[in-house]
Amino acid sequence: MDLTFNKNEDQNKLALSDLKKRYAQIRKGGGEKRIQKLHSEGKMTARERIEYLLDAPETALEIGAFAGFGMYEEYGGCPSGGVVVKIGHVSGRLCVVVANDATVKAGAWFPITGKKNLRAQEIAMENHLPIIYLVDSAGVFLPMQDEIFPDKEHFGRIFRNNAQMSSRGIPQIAAVMGSCVAGGAYLPIMSDEALIVDKTGSIFLAGSYLVKAAIGESVDNETLGGATTHCEISGVTDYKAKDDKDALERIKNLIDKMGAFPRAGYNRVKPAKPAKDPKEIYGLLPGSRSEPYDMVEIIERLVDEGSFEQYKEGYGKTLLTGYARIDGWAVGIVANQRRVVKTKKGEMQFGGVIYSDSADKATRFIANCNQKKIPLVFLQDVTGFMVGSQSEHGGIIKDGAKMVNAVANSVVPKFTVVIGNSYGAGNYAMCGKAYDPRLMIAWPSANLAVMSGNSAAKVLLQIEKARLEKLGESIDKDKEAALYEKIKQKYDTQISPYYAAARLWTDAIIDPLQTRRWISTGIEAADHAPIDKAFNMGVLQV
């Protein structure tokens, strides 16, 4: 291996080490003291509950682990958004599991908590997966109620989704393993079946203190809304469990008896390992986001051996399109080529930029995949569409619009991996979050923004200089350099994959070696939901 390879490997492994350290801290939730407090009450933590429930916890996908990262610091933070969400097998059936983390503000709902719960429900609804709620929450975090209560994508949408899933035949099981108060009390009861843990679980619209204040009645919480009350008097819950493990075993038994489901029928054969060692990705991927590399080399370490067959290989070279298999599943790959390439006309095309011919090729390829019912995988390292008079005269906006149209109207499941840059309209054309990928994941090397930190800082610097000059302030070179660096540092923070993951713009930041498992599990999930509409791109400027 050459010096460049070794340098890249060191940088990428350092970034991966940083990811692992941050995740290890997040796994602690509200901290060791609060974990010990839960244990002293005879309760398991959210992560312990999920690990006990799943058949193989180590292979499950965690959605939104970095949700809330660096946010709500004035309130002490909100690790993982105060809720743990995983996709994994329960009694052999792929399920979405949602568990409130009572070590984080007693499981209270911050705005990001609501967004993450809605994302979990969205995954279940898109893929027709059973969803299991492990409820242990004090309800809405009142200091921020105005950001979670009244709007369309706020708290109430959860219950709307409960009703929608029930009408679509998507199974929902809820276990009340701690507090379940106020509006949150509707979630388990709008599920198909509800369990409650004796002595530790409780459900009520208003607790004993509020009842006393509202109507003058004196009653303890257990009598008001404990397991005995709801299993023997109100009939609100269906099963009484003696403890957390008993409740989780009952859920396993309920899932075990579910019938078969229709399948979409995506093509799969016996999986094969990649032809080249995936660990070499660390050395192939440059540490700098501006350096070129050959995306084909990355693809050959992600797909099954010998399966990648390029479509229109000699045309539109800044986008790679082709068929392959990942863990046996047939996929169509659309990937940005980061090398500077030469066309047959002798023109040079810059890597990571989408040109008219590239967009044209991708549009047709996406249509072909929809025609043949092949899931799409987008590998993003894109700086945007080509600009300039030649591109504008050549119709880059028209060709870009066709590609965006194809992505937006695609009916096969889409999966997006942000390997490097994800800038501007390139993010949209390469199936960014706004275009409904079933899963969107990022490597530690990812950057997401309107443009790069350097470009944005230069633009913002010119705006700031113009503003200061209007106020009569002079700017020397040193002050200009300091101002540029200040702007760039702020912008660089915002293009970080952690900033994106904190806000659920991506579902996870992962080790590149986990990419095959994420895509394979994603297609397995998508196979639960047959396609019920035809691919149609509507009106286009041809």
110, with CB counted inside 10 A (0-12, 13-18, 19+), is buried
Per-residue pLDDT, 142: 79
Per-residue pLDDT, 394: 73
> What does the pLDDT look like over 371-409, one tens digit per residue?
999 999 999 999 988 877 777 867 788 989 999 999 999
Q: Residue length, the chain?
A: 542
State the CB neighbour count (10 A cutoff) for residue 456. 20
Contact 343, 324 (CB under 8 A): no
Q: pLDDT band at 121, cuts 50/70/90? A: very high
- 181 is written with which tokens? 């108060």
Contact 45, 35 (CB under 8 A): yes
- 433 is written with which tokens? 């979050």
**Phi and psi, residue 332, nearest 5°:** -105, 125
Point out the least confidently predicted range of 150-154, 182-186, 403-407, 428-432: 182-186
> What does the pLDDT look like over 426-471, one tens digit per residue?
999 999 999 999 999 999 999 998 777 777 778 777 888 788 778 8
Pairing mode, strands 61-63 and 83-90: antiparallel
Q: Supply the mean pLDDT for the chain.
A: 92
Q: pLDDT band at 541, cuts 50/70/90? A: low
> What does the pLDDT look like over 28-83, one tens digit per residue?
999 999 999 999 999 999 999 999 999 999 999 999 999 999 999 999 999 999 99
Q: pLDDT band at 542, cuts 50/70/90? A: low
Contact 12, 280 (CB under 8 A): no
Angle between helices 46-53 and 244-256 (to 10 degrees): 40
Pairing mode, strands 93-100 and 348-349: unpaired
Looking at residue 442, its amino acid is A
Contact 254, 173 (CB under 8 A): yes
Overall average pLDDT of the 279-297 stretch: 94
Overall average pLDDT of the 512-536 stretch: 96
Round to whole Å and give the CA distance between 356 and 392.
9
Per-residue pLDDT, 183: 65
Per-residue pLDDT, 353: 92
Helix residue spans in 285-388 (DSSP H): 295-299, 356-371
